[in-house]
Amino acid sequence: MRIFIAGASGTLGRPVVAQLLSRGHDVTGLSHSERGRAAVERAGAKGIIGDALDRTGLMQIVADAHPDVVVHLLTALPPAGAYRAADLVATNRLRTEGTANLIDAAVAAGARRIVAESFVGVYGEAAFTTPSAEDIVLPPVSRGPARDATLAMRASEDRLLAAKRSGSIEAVALRIGLLYGPGVPTTALHLSQSGCGRPCAA
């Protein structure tokens, strides 16, 4: 299967690329930098440099890849993690404008499915005491430092749902939790600050 991954050199993109290659898929990975492209190539996939906010350029890049499936893992988070609203501004754009561009590029290229990273923060300040279905009505977004990020995630999911309902493409949003462990920059940073270093993570 031909799979196009936007955000292939990121924290989530790297293991996804590795897993797909191990299953024999033909993987093309989009990165925003030469360093990211090189990392994708070292993993064994085809690396492409591009900008998901450049609609025209992205349309051509995805068309050239002829993907069966497009995977949206685009973020622009600081290596140390996002602790302020300002740390999420670039990622919010990727979840709004970038999602719209990537869906349109996937449809135009004839892909049958797009799978996109979402986040449990889409629920906002929902207080769950029992497991909840993903189709529950989400609570209103309250004011606060996470407001714009929550709205951006919901906008991304809304665009995916609209594409699915239109019948133009299968669309899936994965509400992922926090990431930690080997290969996650925030984990490595916290270990180094604690004085453990790499041996303590074993």
Task: Kindly report the CATH number assigned to the domain that includes residue 96.
Answer: 3.40.50.720
> Which range marks the domain in which residue 197 is found?
2-201
Both structure tokens of 115: 């799978």
Angle formed at CA 106 by CA 74 and CA 179, multiple of 5 degrees:
25
The pTM score is 0.85
What mean pLDDT is reported for the chain? 87
- The 10s digit of each residue's pLDDT in 12-53 is 999 999 999 999 999 999 999 999 999 999 999 999 999 999
pLDDT for 126 equals: 64
End-to-end CA distance of the chain: 35
* 3-state secondary structure (DSSP) of residue 148: helix
Angle formed at CA 183 by CA 74 and CA 97, multiple of 5 degrees:
5
Q: What is the count of structural domains for the chain?
A: 1
